[in-house]
Amino acid sequence: MDKNTITGFVLIAAVIIGFTLLSKPSAEEIAKQKEQHRRDSIEYVQTLEREKELADRKDTTVDKTENTVDDFFAVPVENKDSVFTAVDSLQTATQQAEQLITLENSKLRIVFSTKGGKMVSAQLKEYARYDGDSLYLFNNDADFALLLTNKQNKVLSTRDLIFTPIKSDADNSLIMRFSYAANQHVDFIYKLTGDDYMLKYDVSLVGLEPMLDRNKADIIELNWSQKLRRQEKSVKNEQRYSHLHYKYIGGDVKELSSEKSEELEVKEPVKWIAFKNRFFAPIFIADNKIETALLDSKVLVTDENSEYLKAFDTKIYAPAEVDASSGSINAGFTYYLGPMSFSLLSSYDDNISDANKQLDLDKLVPLGWTLFRWVNQYFVIPIFNLLKGTGLSMGIIILLLTVIVKLVISPLTYKSFMSSAKMRVLRPQVEEISAKFPKQEQAMEKQQATMALYSKAGVNPMSGCIPMLLQMPILIALFSFFPNAIELRQQSFLWATDLSNYDAIIEWKTHIPLIGTHISLFCILMTITNIIYTKFNMEMTNTGQQQMPGMKWMMYLMPLIFLFMLNDYPSGLTYYYFLSLLITILLTIGFRYIIDEDKVLAKLEANKAKPKKKSGFMARLAEAQKLQQQQMNQRNKTNSTKRKR
């Protein structure tokens, strides 16, 4: 195998390995992270306990920051006959029993509680957990509360208030109302639209404006927290893609770390906040904006039996509109409660031209850095969606997608093979040059003579490497696409029961370094095919040039490295790589029979007779070699003089 082809393979391996290892901590870092995760979890529990203790203490003190309903509403007012003193009706409202009310369509089943007037569970009807159970984004493990501050700087949380439900089946809506008096109440208005994953959520404070802090009357303060539920078999893979995300108004989508606990105060306006795991997320979207937010993401200590991955907590401050005529304070929001499907999420911006109003929910699907994302967005995904529309199984769709991708890049593959063929037919002449300069100190003369031969024959050694590098964006883009394609989730093919998960044929309990707790069959097939392709390609591209020491074994070692790297990755990805390598071998064999090497050699010999101007690259390379040769000669001359003395 010539040096340029080897260089190409090494660059490809370096990019892939580097791309993977950048996001993969060392064993020492993993140990530190686990210890930090353990400490964070302990601190998180201790924090909750301290908060509970403080809350218990607050109940026994006079000066409270978060108050009971009676204490909050019992504030001095100018009109002594005001309904603010209607404590009897207030106590009746807070002593009612908790009720559960349901809104649902074909995609969602959402349960609300009159305690706090909030959602307590959200079930996605069309999906199931890895173990076959119903899939809940949250189920009594999320909390949501509105905080009100009165003129005495006392705070009331709606968390424990008992609301009265007003349900309308006609438009699939629900009003949760907490009434202090006939003309004073807090309304949470929910409306589940059509067969969609969007739930409209509006807050309306009626008749409460006179008693609220004037500095906070036009700000809605909300607390939203949730423990992120595990939905997939591989905890490691799911945690890798689980983040707390937020989007700036008219700007980028950002995220907190998935590997460590992190807190952040977002001081610039944002459009939405998302609690995302690998394939699903609840997203809190403001109709207008979220002015500021306090974000807290805690990584929980996990193992293969864990039910939760992370604990998220947010404090949200959003502007509200004050209606002077009615005295009401209103703010509008929307929940997205659904899957991370790129096509679905991007469809929500179809009719929005204003950049400040665009949601960009599709950016929650990690498709790689900018260039690779473009490849996925405008090439891979449209083809994938077209094939999906045929109704074929996902295994066949991946096969067809692989064939299409290989056909698209086949001109580059052909050009790379042609470059190798040109250098291969010149192999006898290169071997003659090697025989002419057999000594180690003649290596520079040998290389200069070889480059002169290639220049006369019109062969550019780099022309075989460049096409391989041009294929890299597609290769890396697909590395991001397959692990995040929800369409592969729980889709079986052959022995793989879930193409979005590894296809283990052997599993064990003890964790083995590098390999983990299982062996994936498609990964093994990919590795075997890669070894065969490496041997086949090294023989096909042998140009007679001397290889670097150990390079041959390094080329055989690389497939084993990929085995360790990809063993835990989705079977859909390793299945694709297996097919891609297999098709590449077939294309290479086909090109070998299509290309007449005698004609190639005849053309190169004819090129030698033609006057040929060196390309800029070849000229610079020749000049560099000439300068290096001069420096070497000067060094040898100096050493010789010293020895004579």
- Residue 452: what are its φ and ψ, rounded to 5°? -65, -40
pLDDT above 90 (res 324): no
Mean pLDDT, rounded, for 225-252: 93
Q: Which of 80-89, 121-130, 225-234 has the lowest mean pLDDT?
A: 80-89
Q: Domain 62-366 carries which CATH code?
A: 2.70.98.90
Token reading at 576: 């694709």
Return the pLDDT at 451. 75
Return the pLDDT at 340. 97
Model pLDDT for residues 479-528, shown as the tens digit of each residue: 999 999 999 999 999 999 999 999 999 988 888 887 888 899 999 999 99
Q: Which of 13-22, 433-442, 463-472 has the lowest mean pLDDT?
A: 13-22
pLDDT above 50 (res 435): yes
Give the span between the Cα atoms of 183 and 559, in whole angstroms.
73
User: Within the chain, what is the greatest distance between any pair of CA atoms?
Assistant: 118
- Band of the pLDDT at 459, cuts 50, 70, 90? confident
- Band of the pLDDT at 174, cuts 50, 70, 90? very high
For the chain, the first-to-last Cα distance in angstroms comes to 45
Pairing relationship of beta strands 516-520 and 504-512 according to DSSP bridges: antiparallel
Q: Which residues pair with 228 in a beta bridge?
A: 310
- Band of the pLDDT at 282, cuts 50, 70, 90? very high
Is the torsion defined by CA of 186, 188, 209, 160 positive or negative? positive
DSSP letters along 134-168, please? EEEEEES-EEEEEEEEBTTS-EEEGGGPBPEEEEE
Model pLDDT for residues 538-556, shown as the tens digit of each residue: 776 665 555 555 566 777 7
pLDDT above 80 (res 616): no
- Band of the pLDDT at 326, cuts 50, 70, 90? confident
Report the 10 Å Cβ neighbour count for 572: 27
Model pLDDT for residues 593-605, shown as the tens digit of each residue: 888 777 878 877 7
Report the 10 Å Cβ neighbour count for 642: 8
Is the pTM higher than 0.85? The answer reads no
Mean pLDDT, rounded, for 11-20: 56
Higher-pLDDT residue of 193, 542: 193
CB-CB contact of 588 with 420 (8 Å): no
Model pLDDT for residues 85-140, shown as the tens digit of each residue: 333 444 444 556 889 999 999 999 999 999 999 999 999 999 999 999 999 999 99
Mean pLDDT, rounded, for 342-355: 91
Q: Which of 80-84, 202-206, 385-389, 570-574 has the lowest mean pLDDT?
A: 80-84
Give the span between the Cα atoms of 409 and 34, in whole angstroms.
43
pLDDT above 90 (res 327): no
